[in-house]
C-alpha cells in the first residue's frame, strides 16, 4: 500500500528523465518500467510494480565491491590510501580532479574510485566479479543473479573514459593489477542483473550494522556506519546533497535506473525506473523514495 502510494506520487511528477544510451545495450531498457521493494532487517520483503524484474545494476554494484573489499582488507588503510571519501561535486565519469589529486579518486562511488576498489577486490579475491555475484546470490537467495555479458561487452566497446581513468591511475601506481583485467571485472560487476527484491535483500547487511543474512559478520559495526556515511555524501554523485535533502537516507544509484537506500537498524528500499536525470539518478526512483520517506518519516535525520 505504502509502496503503491509512493509510486503513484512519483508518476504524478512531470519529468521522466532519459534512459542511459552511452552504453548502447542499456538504451533498450523500457522507460516505463517501474518497481519498488522494501526489505526489513528480519528479512521480510515486500514489493510493488516491476519489483521482481531483473535490471542492470550498474553503479549500485559499487557499494558491494566496497563492502567486500573492506571486509577482506586488513583494516582498510591500504584501500583508503588509494581512494578518498569526500564528495567530488563532479559527474560520476569526470576526469578533472584526477590529475591535480595525483591519481587518487575523491571517493569509491565515482567511476575512478570504483575502479580502484575493483582493483583491490581483484587482488584480494582473484575474482572481483565472482565475489560480487556470489554475495548477491547468497544474500538475495536468488541463484539466477548473473552478469549480462552483452551489457559488459557493450560497455567495454564504448568505455573510453573508464579506460582513460584506469590508465591514468595506473601511471600514478594506483592499480595493483593490469588495467585490462581491472576494466573487465568492473564492466562485468556493473553488468550484473538483479531485481529490486534481490538488491533490497542484498543491501540489508548495511541496515543490520554489518551482519549478513546467515547471521555471520561481514563488517564491523563501525565499518558499516562508515559505508552508510559515504553513501549519503557520495552515493548519488553531484546530486548527493539533493538526494539527502529529498530522501534523507544513504543511497546508491546506477545508470540502469536502480537506487538502493538504507535505513540503518530498520531495512532497505530499492527502486527501479530507467529514466535518469542529468546526474545519472533515476527520476522516478528518487521521486518515489522522496514520497515514501516524506510520508513515513523513515530517515536518518
Ligand atoms: O562505468 C560506467 O559508466 C557504468 N558502468 C556505471 C555508471 C553508473 O551507473 C553511474 N550511476 N549513476
Give tens-digit pLDDT for 222-245. 999 999 999 999 999 999 999 999
Q: How many CB atoms lie within 10 A of CB 86?
A: 12
Mutate to test the pocket of ligand 1, among 62, 254, 273 (most ligand atoms within 8 A of CB): 254
269: which strand partners?
38, 261
Q: Which domain holds residue 24?
A: 2-296
- Asked whether residue 301 is domain-assigned, the answer is no
pLDDT at 116: 98
State the pairing for strand pair 55-56/192-194: antiparallel
Residue nearest to atom 1 of ligand 1 (CA): 111
Q: Is 125 in the pocket of ligand 1 (CB under 6 A)?
A: no
Residue nearest to atom 2 of ligand 1 (CA): 111
Domain CATH code at residue 26:
3.40.710.10
Distance from Cα 249 to the centre of ligand 1, integer Å: 20
pLDDT at 74: 81
Structural domain count of the chain: 1
pLDDT at 288: 98
Distance from Cα 254 to the centre of ligand 1, integer Å: 6
pLDDT at 265: 98
**C-alpha pair distances (Å), 194 with each of 63, 144, 220, 249:** 14, 8, 26, 22
**Positions in the chain whose pLDDT score sits under 70:** none
pTM to 2 decimal places:
0.98
Answer yes or no: are the C-beta atoms of 259 and 270 closer than 8 Å.
yes
- Asked whether residue 195 is domain-assigned, the answer is yes
Q: How many CB atoms lie within 10 A of CB 85?
A: 16
pLDDT at 13: 84
Amino acid at each position: 500500500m505504502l509502496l503503491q502510494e509512493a509510486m503513484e506520487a512519483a508518476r504524478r511528477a512531470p519529468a521522466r528523465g532519459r534512459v542511459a544510451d552511452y552504453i548502447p545495450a542499456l538504451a533498450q531498457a523500457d522507460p516505463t518500467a517501474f518497481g519498488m521493494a522494501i526489505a526489513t532487517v528480519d528479512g521480510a520483503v515486500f514489493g510493488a510494480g516491476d519489483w521482481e524484474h531483473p535490471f542492470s545494476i550498474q553503479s549500485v554494484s559499487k557499494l558491494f565491491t566496497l563492502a567486500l573489499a573492506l571486509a577482506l582488507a586488513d583494516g582498510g588503510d591500504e584501500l583508503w590510501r588509494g581512494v578518498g571519501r569526500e564528495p567530488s561535486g563532479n559527474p560520476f565519469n569526470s576526469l578533472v580532479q584526477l590529475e591535480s589529486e595525483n591519481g587518487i579518486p575523491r571517493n569509491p562511488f565515482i567511476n575512478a574510485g570504483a575502479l580502484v576498489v575493483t582493483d583491490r577486490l581483484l587482488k584480494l579475491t582473484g575474482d572481483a566479479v565472482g565475489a560480487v555475484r556470489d554475495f548477491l546470490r547468497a544474500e538475495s537467495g536468488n541463484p539466477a543473479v548473473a552478469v549480462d555479458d552483452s551489457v559488459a561487452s557493450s560497455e567495454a566497446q564504448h568505455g573510453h573514459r573508464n579506460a582513460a581513468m584506469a590508465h591514468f591511475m595506473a601511471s600514478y601506481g594506483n592499480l595493483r593489477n593490469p588495467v585490462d583485467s581491472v576494466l573487465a571485472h568492473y564492466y562485468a560487476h556493473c553488468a550484473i542483473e538483479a531485481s529490486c527484491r534481490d538488491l533490497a535483500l542484498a543491501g540489508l547487511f548495511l541496515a543490520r550494522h554489518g551482519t549478513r543474512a546467515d547471521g555471520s559478520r561481514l563488517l564491523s559495526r563501525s565499518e558499516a556506519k562508515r559505508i552508510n556515511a559515504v553513501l549519503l555524501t557520495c552515493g548519488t554523485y553531484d546530486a548527493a546533497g539533493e538526494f539527502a535533502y529529498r530522501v534523507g537516507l544513504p543511497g546508491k544509484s546506477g545508470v540502469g535506473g536502480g537506487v538502493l537506500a538504507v535505513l540503518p537498524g530498520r531495512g532497505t528500499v530499492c527502486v527501479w525506473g530507467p529514466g535518469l536525470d542529468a546526474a545519472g539518478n533515476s527520476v522516478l526512483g528518487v521521486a518515489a523514495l522522496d514520497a515514501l520517506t516524506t510520508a513515513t518519516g523513515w530517515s536518518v535525520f
